[in-house]
Amino acid sequence: MSDRLRHDRSYRGWLTGILIAAAILWAGSGSDVELSRLVEAGPRLAAFLGRMFPPDLSVWPEVQKGILETLRIAILGTFGSVAASCILGPLAADTISPKWINRPVRLLLALMRSIPLILIAMLMVGAVGLGPLPGILAITFHATGMLAKFYAEAIEDVNQTPVDALESAGATLLQKLRYGIWPQMAPTILRDTIFRFELNLRESLVLGVVGAGGIGFLIQTYVRSFQYEKTATVAIAIAIVILALEWINTIVRRMFR
């Protein structure tokens, strides 16, 4: 027994180490990663940041409009993906849907996750035109791939015996859902949804670059035209929204433990 303990796994540790080292060496060996450029980067970065100061607050009205549009895209996109996940999540759950349904649904969700958001956004812009609508659709599509998977896992984690107890007491199917299943999964669902909303907000910042609405359009315009003072104002607006969101997130999660 002790012999087995002594020899077991030792080679696996080495193998893992060698694989990681090989991956890093391979990635860094490309001739175009010139570390020497880092030396000159410092002063340039300083100059760049210098040009961002002082932030040009005169553009605040349009920045505010942009960031609020991004927030709206994130909210509606999250709402859309929650609605889609309420259907696809149960269908993907091992415990309540048969194999011949949950396997294909899982595959579909994996495919949805694997397509980059920016690509979907470009497709949607092509389909429905410029503005926030393609952004909302893109976020809905992309986020559902993850959120429905999370919902399915929350359903699978539900302990069946309390539900059996309600059945035994004479509960109807809806009563079992409401008082046996829902209380067990609600905190997980809430946590996952808020997490996804935060991701949606961060990811929707870039949607404007391809014309799918929101603050991204301003980032692109200001950077392309070297108006770094205005870009700084955008950065401030984004920071405010993200920090506020994290603060709210912390409070909500403390409330629903």
**In angstroms, rounded to a whole number, what is the distance separating the alpha carbons of residues 201 and 206?**
10
Q: Which of 132, 180, 213, 214 binds other proteins (CB under 8 A)?
A: 180
Q: Which of 18, 164, 225, 240 binds other proteins (CB under 8 A)?
A: 164
Given CA atoms 148, 152, 158, 160 in this order, what sign does their dihedral have?
Answer: positive
Is 18 near other proteins (CB under 8 A)?
no
Q: Which of 56, 62, 156, 167 binds other proteins (CB under 8 A)?
A: 167
Is 178 near other proteins (CB under 8 A)?
yes
Q: Which of 1, 168, 224, 251 binds other proteins (CB under 8 A)?
A: 168
Is 174 near other proteins (CB under 8 A)?
yes
Is 179 near other proteins (CB under 8 A)?
yes
> Which position has the token pair 């607050």?
57
- State the nearest-atom distance from the C-beta of 203 to other proteins, in Å: 31
Is 169 near other proteins (CB under 8 A)?
yes
Is 162 near other proteins (CB under 8 A)?
yes
Tell me the site size for other proteins, rule CB under 8 A. Answer: 21
**In angstroms, rounded to a whole number, what is the distance separating the alpha carbons of residues 119 and 141?**
11
Q: Name which of 142, 151, 140 is nearest 89 in CA terms.
A: 151
DSSP 192: H
164 vs 246 by CB, closer to other proteins:
164
- Count the Cβ atoms, other than its own, within 10 Å of residue 55: 19
2-12 per-residue burial string, b: 16 or more CB within 10 A, e: under 16: eeeeeeeeeee
Residues 217, 66: contact at Cβ < 8 Å?
A: yes
Q: Which stretch binds other proteins (CB under 8 A): 5-13, 91-99, 177-185, 204-212?
A: 177-185
47 vs 174 by CB, closer to other proteins:
174
Q: Which of 2, 10, 29, 161 binds other proteins (CB under 8 A)?
A: 161
Is 192 near other proteins (CB under 8 A)?
no
H helix intervals, 115-181: 117-128, 132-156, 160-169, 173-176
Hey, what are 228's tokens? 């770094």
- Residue numbers at the binding site for other proteins (CB under 8 A): 159, 161-162, 164-172, 174-175, 178-180, 183-184, 186-187
